[in-house]
């Protein structure tokens, strides 16, 4: 029979020039008669010497003929229907039978999917783009779909076709999205997209929406049936979260870099979920004897530790896939893939589930502000500046060596908005901490004059990024009420953590970078000179109610020559420990939620090293044991006392008793909740000079229990204090009707609480003048 296909049509397939290979390949009806139909089956099989069409239901084999090219085959068949067929292929001495991918022509993405995506409003686009296990006409396989509007041709490549882009050429839909169903493959398939630009240059790209990646340095994506790999057990946790207000709850966050919290031996296999194992992933060439712990191991080791220490949340430095360990995770290439350094997606699901089982929330560092230039990633994805701006004056962070997302492009916004929803939807996380928000808000961030472009109004605000951030927070709280959205924002941009209807950005928390800098500067000063810097301690309360602040002493504060917390403190070793205890007790009693980085809780001396373990051996020494016990007790007290967290962001929750005693570097204040009996009195002495008779005013008569003393002997302190508590004197002081005559320990913070069970017993004692205290 004579072919009706031209050499030009064949060449379009041979040279990857056709935007829709389904128009040529696969099964097509040629003629329709009264009793029979004439069909043509065409296949491009680059490695085949011969091919046949197999009709299983009719138990027939029809030979295919080469047409215009030795590897382009065609077969004309007369039969009533040709719905199911296979191809038998001869390659050398080997034969194999496959399903023809071009026999599955039904589109996976609907026109509505593509429309919503083009508008930036397909919030679950990750269920359509990427790789998805499916079944068509009883045949199992994987749907692939990728956004590459400017590509000339896109193919799926992988082990299943020997990485040959000629074999599985994709079809372009609506001029933007390429798709193909590949039969007879499934979970575990390793793949990439081979993308050709308009000039024929080839780029091999990982899947932007891929759910899993190979372990670095390899970069291919791996097919995962994400909805069928793990059975969750946290329905009660999610329901409770959905109906709670985290701003009224205790939030004490333990910030962790999973790759350096603790390592295992490189001689051991990596344990995974369900008793499975994987080859060890070596930490680095400088530490070849150590391997990363798996998500499964971390669930068994990290979670009990955090629970015993009393933290309410774990915050993970970015765990989305990234090629370079030294980036700490902040240069992401796989936005939808938990890094394979620590195991598989289901292992990370197990980790989150176990956190919830132990009443620990999980916060992820999310990095929508930039991405690296790695050739397998998003950069120059389809041969054009697709995800990034073409103009480096807005599309590049030269100081970081990264590219900036084009927030004005609907599909890019959709990629990012859907990405943040993805982590809550598929991995049940409880919050995000958005990295480097300031770099998104300002077009001139870290750019010299002449290296940036003003917005349409001549200003430096990045209007598209602002709109994007508001959209993220709007949809995030619509889908997942009760979660945390935290901004790391270092400028004076107004209303970062205020509602969008009030002109805010919509986060519900913002890191208080000002408090962090003020307090670290203050504690770095010799205590004698702190009297001249009292403003560092008190200034935060002048602006505090402008935002919902989180007080954070993070990883950024103990790297790059800044020293760890103990090393920042002046004085001898005893004073260093005392200063650390005083700083953190003030932090926990100051309004705001709390975050601290791993290693601070047991007093590591050296800076954080991303390639090393924490210095756990220090816990064999008593001072480090005592500091760890201090944080355990401080967390317990924080969760126990509603006054320390219920009104963090309302004036009712805090007032100064006295913030003006700079001569002694002492401040005192009250924390309150809705119940007057919850009120706490906090007194801070930030010098090594103790005060045996220091008087502060209090609002009520009665016996005040000393709930917490950071100078207690069990924490390594001098054990000065008030023998468990003090009765109030009936003498007014600090504009209060009663007062307490206290012993203030050196470099310490006291927390006192009125005991409602003890009958007030007031002592008529004339208060000492300030000069008489000493």
Catalytic residues, by residue number, are 435, 488
Which residue, among 613, 606, 610, 603, has the nearest Cα to 583 in the 3D structure? Answer: 603
Which of 250, 287, 291 is CA-nearest to residue 269? 291
Residue 382, both tokens:
């389809």
CA-CA distances (angstroms) from residue 107 to 34, 143, 246? 30, 10, 43
- In 3D space, the residue among 322, 343, 325 whose CA is nearest the CA of residue 333 turns out to be 322
**CA distances, 494 to each of 189, 434, 546, 591 (Å):** 48, 17, 8, 19
DSSP H or E run through 726: strand 725-727
C-beta neighbour count of 332 within 10 angstroms: 28
Contact 393, 447 (CB under 8 A): yes
Structure tokens at 355: 């956190």
The three-state secondary structure class of 413 is helix
Cα dist from 733 to 89, 411, 657, 658, 699, whole Å: 95, 63, 9, 10, 10
Of 426, 432, 428, which is closest to residue 367 (Cα–Cα)?
432
Crossing angle of the two packed helices 410-427 and 463-479, in degrees rounded to 10:
30
Q: Three-state DSSP class for 31?
A: strand
Q: How many CB atoms lie within 10 A of CB 341?
A: 24
Question: Rounded distance, CA 355 to CA 353, Å?
Answer: 5
Structure tokens at 57: 């239901």
Locate 602 and state its tokens: 């047991």
Sign of the alpha-carbon dihedral angle for 132, 135, 140, 141: negative
Residues in the chain: 774
Sign of CA dihedral 92, 95, 99, 100: positive
The three-state (H, E, C) secondary structure of 636-668, written as one string: HHHHHCHHHCCCCCCHHHEEEEEEEECCCCEEE
Q: Beta strands 252-256 and 313-316: pairing type?
A: parallel
Contact by Cβ (8 Å): 157, 194 = yes
CB 273 within 8 A of CB 296: yes
Distance CA 582, CA 737 (A): 28
Per the CB < 8 A criterion, the answer to whether 322 and 331 are in contact is yes
Contact 683, 744 (CB under 8 A): yes
Q: Token pair of 368, please? A: 């929508």
Map tokens 């050398």 to a residue.
Answer: 92
Residues 6+ apart with CB under 8 A from 438: 445, 489, 490, 491, 493
Radius of gyration of the chain (CA): 32
Query: ω into residue 217 within 30 of 0, thus cis?
Result: yes
Please report the DSSP string for 117-175 in residue order.
Answer: HHTT--TTGGGTSEEEEEEETTEEEEEEEEE-TT-SEEEEEEGGGTT-TTTSBPEEETT
Under DSSP, the state recorded for 474 is H
Angle between helices 295-309 and 622-640 (to 10 degrees): 80
């Amino acid at each position: 029979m004579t072919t009706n296909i031209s050499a030009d049509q064949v060449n379009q397939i041979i040279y990857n020039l056709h935007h829709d290979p389904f128009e040529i390949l696969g099964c097509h009806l040629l003629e329709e008669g009264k009793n029979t139909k004439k069909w043509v089956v065409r296949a491009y099989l680059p490695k085949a010497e011969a091919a046949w069409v197999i009709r299983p239901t009719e138990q027939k084999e029809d030979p295919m003929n080469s047409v215009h090219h030795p590897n382009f085959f065609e077969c004309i068949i007369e039969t009533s229907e040709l719905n199911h067929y296979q191809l038998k292929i001869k390659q050398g001495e080997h034969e194999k039978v496959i399903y023809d991918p071009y026999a599955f022509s039904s589109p996976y993405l609907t026109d509505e999917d593509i429309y919503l995506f083009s508008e930036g409003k397909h919030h679950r686009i990750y269920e359509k783009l990427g790789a998805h296990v499916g079944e068509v006409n009883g045949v199992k396989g994987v749907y692939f779909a990728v956004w590459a509007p400017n590509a000339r041709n896109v193919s799926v490549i992988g082990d299943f076709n020997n990485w040959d882009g000629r074999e599985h050429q994709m079809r372009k839909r609506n001029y933007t999205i390429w798709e193909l169903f590949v039969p007879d493959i499934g979970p575990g398939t390793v793949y990439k997209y081979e993308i050709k630009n308009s000039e024929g240059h080839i780029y091999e790209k990982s899947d932007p929406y891929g759910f899993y990646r190979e372990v670095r340095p390899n970069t291919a994506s791996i097919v995962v049936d994400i909805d069928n790999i793990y059975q969750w057990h946290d329905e009660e946790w999610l329901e409770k979260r959905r109906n709670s207000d985290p701003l009224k709850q205790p939030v004490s966050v333990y910030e962790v870099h999973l790759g350096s919290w603790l390592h295992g031996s490189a001689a051991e296999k990596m344990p995974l979920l369900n008793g499975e194992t994987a080859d060890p992933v070596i930490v680095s060439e400088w530490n070849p004897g150590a391997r990363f712990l798996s998500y499964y191991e971390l669930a068994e080791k990290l979670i009990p530790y955090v629970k015993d220490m009393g933290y309410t949340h774990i915050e993970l430095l970015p765990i989305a896939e990234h090629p370079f360990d030294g980036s700490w995770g902040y240069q992401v290439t796989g936005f939808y893939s938990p890094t394979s350094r620590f195991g598989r997606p289901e292992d990370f699901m197990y980790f989150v589930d176990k956190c919830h089982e132990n009443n620990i929330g999980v916060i992820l560092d999310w990095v929508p502000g930039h991405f690296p230039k790695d050739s397998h990633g998003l950069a120059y994805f389809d041969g054009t500046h697709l995800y990034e701006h073409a103009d480096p004056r807005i599309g590049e962070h030269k100081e970081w060596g990264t590219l900036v997302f084009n927030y004005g492009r609907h599909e890019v916004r959709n990629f990012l908005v859907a990405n943040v929803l993805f982590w809550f939807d598929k991995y049940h996380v409880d919050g995000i901490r958005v990295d480097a928000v300031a770099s998104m808000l300002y077009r001139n961030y870290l750019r010299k004059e002449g290296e940036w472009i003003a917005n349409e109004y001549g200003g430096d605000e990045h209007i598209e990024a602002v709109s994007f951030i508001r959209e993220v927070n709007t949809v995030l709280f619509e889908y997942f009420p009760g979660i945390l959205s935290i901004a790391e924002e270092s400028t004076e941009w107004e209303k970062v953590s205020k509602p969008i209807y009030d002109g805010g950005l919509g986060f519900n928390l913002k890191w208080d970078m000002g408090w962090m800098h003020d307090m670290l500067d203050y504690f770095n000063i010799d205590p004698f000179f702190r009297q001249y810097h009292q403003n560092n301690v008190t200034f935060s309360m002048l602006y505090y109610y402008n935002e919902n602040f989180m007080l954070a002493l993070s990883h950024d504060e103990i790297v790059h020559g800044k020293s760890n917390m103990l090393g920042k403190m002046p004085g001898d070793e005893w004073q260093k420990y005392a200063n650390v205890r005083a700083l953190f007790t003030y932090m926990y009693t100051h309004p705001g939620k709390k975050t601290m980085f791993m290693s601070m809780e047991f007093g590591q001396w050296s800076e954080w090293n991303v390639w090393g373990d924490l210095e756990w051996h220090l816990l064999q020494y008593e001072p480090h044991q005592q500091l760890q016990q201090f944080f355990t007790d401080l967390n317990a007290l924080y969760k126990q006392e509603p006054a320390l967290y219920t009104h963090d962001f309302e004036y009712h929750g805090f007032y100064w008793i006295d913030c003006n005693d700079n001569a002694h570097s002492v401040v005192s204040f009250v924390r309150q909740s809705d119940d007057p009996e919850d009120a706490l009195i906090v007194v801070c002495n930030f010098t090594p000079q103790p005060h045996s008779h220091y008087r502060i005013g209090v609002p009520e008569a009665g016996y005040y229990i000393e709930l917490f003393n950071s100078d207690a002997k069990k924490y390594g302190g001098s054990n000065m204090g008030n023998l468990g508590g003090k009765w109030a004197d009936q003498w007014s002081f600090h504009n209060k009707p009663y007062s307490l005559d206290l012993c203030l320990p050196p470099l310490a913070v006291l927390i006192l609480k009125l005991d409602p069970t003890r009958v007030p017993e007031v002592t008529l004692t004339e208060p000492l003048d300030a000069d008489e205290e000493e």
